[in-house]
Amino acid sequence: MDFDHTAVLGAGVIGASWTALFLASGRSVAVFDPAPDAEKTVRDYIETAWPTLTELGLTSNGTPDAVSFHDSAADAVAGAKFVQENVPERLPIKHATYGEIEPVLDAGAIVASSASGLMLSQMQEGWSDPSRFVLGHPFNPPHLIPLVEVTGNERTATGVIADARRFYEAVGKVTIRLNKEASGHVANRLQAALWREAIHLVVEGVASVEDVDKAMWAGPGLRWAAMGPTMLFNLGAGDGGLAAFCDHFKDTFNTWWDDMGKPYIDKEITAQIVAGVMEEARGQPVAELSAKRDALLLAIQKATADLR
């Protein structure tokens, strides 16, 4: 098995989810997190995630027992072939972690960062030789949402991106490659653009938070779970394809784009959307809503698995 021993650095929600997924694939995982309760938290997370991973058919080769916990990042990465780094998104912490692990890494090991807000080039400054360091940004929770965004640059060794993508796909992920750096990468920028307009519609009084959310999950969200927006619009014009769609709707979309808002999140807007989402939640605690989200995501994944 390629990359049969892995390491996870930083075992918050993202790191714990990665740990569960790597274990499910039949790999061993060495974990480091400085929190005193990290081991219990991760083991509890694995126990909770395992039935979901089993329903997705991802645990046939794995065991939740192939996990170990270590007192330092250097100890955790010793012998690991693939390292998923999830430490806090502050460059001094990232750089200190890289400085600690680089001298003890196996020569062929790949290190991937889950960072969502930092650029690869910023993080590379913490390495003497960043040639085997890549961005491997997941969508939360990684054990349930397939997407991983992978990128390198001119300082990345030949073949490392391909190997990283091969590893992720072997554990059940769907990967995309970023050809150049962009703040927020791809998926975060897409959801940020959508959320900006969702907030604008609420602030302008067009619809409530709940109804804007409902418009998404009961409307285009269903289609986007099947295919991306450009392909869907390509299908929307029949045999004419995307060229006919653009010819027919270009003025409409240009008018909508010109009319879209540019709200900035401040205390007033925050209070308005928080009040709206609390009304939408109707007193359900976060844990209950999260469980509902995961159940829906699981059902969607199972329903579409054989159609991809």
Comparing CA positions, the residue from 252, 259, 246 lying closest to residue 206 is 259
Residues of the chain with pLDDT > 90: what percent? 93
Residue 82 to residue 116: CA distance in whole angstroms: 19
Q: Would residue 208 count as lying in a domain?
A: yes
Give residue 304's pLDDT. 84
pTM above 0.85, yes or no: yes
Residue 295 to residue 290: CA distance in whole angstroms: 9
Same domain, 173 and 223: no
Give residue 55's pLDDT. 92
Which residue, of 133, 156, 177, is where some domain finishes? 177
Same domain, 241 and 107: no
Same domain, 144 and 277: no
Residue 263 to residue 299: CA distance in whole angstroms: 34
Residues of the chain with pLDDT > 70: what percent? 99
CATH number for 143:
3.40.50.720
Classify 308 as helix, strand or coil: coil
Q: Which residues pair with 84 in a beta bridge?
A: 8, 112
Same domain, 24 and 147: yes
Give residue 261's pLDDT. 95
Same domain, 20 and 100: yes
Q: Mean pLDDT over residues 127-137, rounded? A: 98
Q: Mean pLDDT over residues 113-138, rounded? A: 97
Give residue 1's pLDDT. 60
Give residue 303's pLDDT. 86
Listing DSSP states for 148-169 in one string gives: EEEE--TTSPTTHHHHHHHHHH
Identify whether 220 is preceded by a cis peptide bond (ω within 30 of 0).
Answer: no
Give residue 284's pLDDT. 95
Q: What range does the domain containing 224 cover?
A: 188-307
Number of domains comprising the chain: 2
Buried b (16+ CB within 10 A) or exposed e, 162-198: ebbbebbeebbbebeebeeeeeebebbeeeeeeebbb
Same domain, 200 and 109: no
Quick: pLDDT tens for 7-65. 999 999 999 999 999 999 999 999 999 999 999 999 999 999 999 999 999 999 999 99
Q: Would residue 169 count as lying in a domain?
A: yes
Comparing CA positions, the residue from 109, 172, 175 lying closest to residue 137 is 175
**pLDDT of 114 higher than 90:** yes
More confident residue, 164 or 307: 164
Torsion angle in degrees (nearest 10) through CA of 187, 28, 17, 8: -70
**pLDDT of 301 higher than 90:** no
Same domain, 71 and 161: yes
- Tokens 């058919």 found at: 57
DSSP letter at 208 equals: -
Residue 168 to residue 110: CA distance in whole angstroms: 12
Same domain, 173 and 266: no
Mean pLDDT of the chain: 95
Same domain, 43 and 140: yes
Give residue 305's pLDDT. 79
Q: Would residue 183 count as lying in a domain?
A: no
Quick: pLDDT tens for 98-110. 999 999 999 999 9
Same domain, 167 and 88: yes
Residue 45 to residue 42: CA distance in whole angstroms: 5
Same domain, 12 and 155: yes
Same domain, 14 and 158: yes
Comparing CA positions, the residue from 121, 169, 175, 171 lying closest to residue 150 is 175
Which residue, of 177, 210, 232, is where some domain finishes? 177
Q: Would residue 140 count as lying in a domain?
A: yes
**pLDDT of 306 higher than 90:** no
Which residue, of 158, 177, 196, is where some domain finishes? 177
Are 22 and 31 in contact, with CB atoms under 8 Å apart? no
Are 222 and 214 in contact, with CB atoms under 8 Å apart? no
Q: Would residue 205 count as lying in a domain?
A: yes
Give residue 302's pLDDT. 86
Comparing CA positions, the residue from 218, 147, 208, 224 lying closest to residue 178 is 147
Q: Would residue 45 count as lying in a domain?
A: yes
**pLDDT of 201 higher than 90:** yes
Q: Would residue 182 count as lying in a domain?
A: no
CATH number for 194:
1.10.1040.10
